[in-house]
């Protein structure tokens, strides 16, 4: 069984890219922030599509392990309904929730 602290670390690792993008976006002027966030979303989309080997819009644990290791490490936190797969929207929501908690804003 994975400990709570290990899960927390896994989620932190998963969201590191989003946090970096968010942090750099905060330091930039508003128009540039929007562009940086758009680029971060596009990068996530491209990585998701590459990892989704069967093209069904869902990553299984095996697909995540092979193509998106940070998602794999936090798979149980993202797959809250325990379906055995995660969607790009669920990954994006997990990143947004983590960013909101870092900013101290309600989710």
| DSSP string over 43-80 | HHHHHHHHH-TT-SSEEEHHHHHHH-HHHHHTHHHH-T
Q: What is the pLDDT of residues 58-74, one digit of tens each?
A: 999 999 999 999 999 99
Average pLDDT over residues 3-25: 45
Question: What whole-number distance in Å separates Cα of residue 106 and Cα of residue 28?
Answer: 23
C-alpha–C-alpha distance, residues 51 and 34, integer Å: 26
What is the mean pLDDT of the segment spanning 18-28?
A: 52
pTM: 0.67
Give the pLDDT score at 107.
52
Q: Both tokens of residue 99? A: 């960013």
pLDDT range class, residue 27, cuts 50, 70, 90: low
| 33 band by pLDDT with thresholds 50, 70 and 90 | confident
> Helices 4-27 and 88-103 sit at what angle, rounded to 10 degrees?
80
* Rounded CA separation 22/95 (Å): 10
Average pLDDT over residues 89-106: 86
Residue position matching structure tokens 């929007």? 34
Enumerate domains of the chain plus CATH numbers: 4-103 (1.10.238.10)
What residues contact 80, with CB distance under 8 A and at least 6 apart? 90
pLDDT at residue 77 greater than cutoff 70: yes
Q: How far apart are CA 38 and CA 45, in angstroms?
A: 10
């Amino acid at each position: 069984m994975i400990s709570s602290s290990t899960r927390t670390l896994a989620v932190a690792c998963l969201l590191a890219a989003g946090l970096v993008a968010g942090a750099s976006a905060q330091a930039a002027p508003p128009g540039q922030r929007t562009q940086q966030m758009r680029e971060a979303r596009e990068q996530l989309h491209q990585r998701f599509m590459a990892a989704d080997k069967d093209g069904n819009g869902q990553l299984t644990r095996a697909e995540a392990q092979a193509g998106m290791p940070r998602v794999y490490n936090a798979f149980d936190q993202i797959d809250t309904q325990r379906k055995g797969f995660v969607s790009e929207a669920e990954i994006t929501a997990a990143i947004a929730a983590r960013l909101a908690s870092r900013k101290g804003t309600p989710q």
